[in-house]
Amino acid sequence: MALVSFKITTFALRIPNLKYLFVYFGPTGKIRINRSTGLRVNSSQFTLGGKPFRILGGSLHYFRLPRAYWKDRMVKMKNHSVIRLCLSCSDVPWPLHQPEKGELHFQGGLDIKAFLHLAAEVGLWVILRTGPYICSGLDLGGLPREMLLRTTYQAFIAAVNVHFNKLIPKVVPFQFKKGGPVIAVQVENKYGSHARDGNYMSFIKEALQERGISEPNSPVLVMELWTGRSDGWSGLHHNLVAVVREILRRGMSINLYMFHGGTNFGFMNGVSANPFYKALVTSYGLLILKVTPQLASSWLHIKLGCMFVRNKPIKTFKFLLLKGVVFINGQNIGRYWDAGPQQALFLPGPFLNSGMNQVIVFEEAEADFKIQFEDSPDLGMTVDI
């Protein structure tokens, strides 16, 4: 084991210590809400509590950032200078909550009750996408591998029921009619173009309703208005000109995908390493309008080392070698590849300790093992589209 000393540059972003008790509905400002009536479709618009309601939402996934950052990102969503969002859309990752058959985890960064409670405290409504298939850039869309998927195949139905039996009771108390922030629960995701079983969607809908999900009617909004597009390995990084202004001019409801992309730590992702889609807030918490998104990367040569941290850092970026995987204090922070465009991995401050920290690098090729930590990422060349 080599003992290595690094100088780490850190900085903190100061934000107001605010607590919001009301949701903003366009120019009308603060209003009281009758919770006897949930989200409904009335002609060409939504109503919530019997009053006109325009959804201005953004996707924020609790499992893609450390729990210590949840409130920071929610407050930034609530107070974005360009588009003041009133709603967070979050996916629920089945394989992370159930990494092994029979094991169910809802602690720490997977504590969905704590996430929903915090959303209510900050003043955000929530649309929850419970799946079971969520897509979301996850390997196999967040489904287990050992059975016939997205059908009424009995083994799959049994597995979904076990998952929902644990998950949905945690969500039900947070529904709008019960005083919570959840105004809608989406049934499955993107099944129309892959449908092979005409009974499957009915099963998922009934499975949710039988467990107490009652919000809401059918949606008439753009649930995934991509704020950008994915980058491919060895290609250029893309900047997409947003169409939000035109959609708002037409009075439509939208959910920006993503507002905050987060980071795919470990091996949860599919082909895409990071779900940035030109998010309005970077994975490292920087508020920007025209984001330069970030990719993490893929893998055995073993190098083991330690680093010493004098002060608790907020966030750092690890500049990379050729191709491999990096672990910091046992936490898999992602795969990397010098094919790019990204040349760095995001390392959240909560993953580091004051004092000694263990660094393990699995490197496929020989490389000069000089590891550098900075306060900004290298995202490679960009091209506007």
* Nearest CA-CA partner of 135 in 224, 204, 235, 203: 224
Half-sphere exposure (CA, 13 Å, Cβ side) for 385?
12
227 alpha carbon, distance to own chain's centre: 14
Full set of structural domains in the chain with CATH: 2-10+296-380 (2.60.120.260), 26-260 (3.20.20.80)
Give the three-class secondary structure for 59.
Answer: strand
Q: Residue 158 has what pLDDT?
A: 92
Residue among 382, 378, 311 at smallest CA distance from 338: 378
Question: What is the block-wise mean pLDDT of the chain (385 residues), using blocks of 10 residues?
Answer: 30 27 27 74 80 86 92 87 69 89 89 95 91 85 78 89 94 93 88 77 92 70 73 61 68 82 78 63 70 41 46 54 83 82 80 85 73 72 54
pTM over 0.95: no
The predicted pLDDT at position 359 comes to 85
Q: Judge if the upstream peptide bond of residue 377 is cis by omega within 30 degrees of 0.
A: no
pLDDT at 112: 95
Output the pLDDT for position 319. Answer: 52
- What does the DSSP 8-state code read for residue 204? H
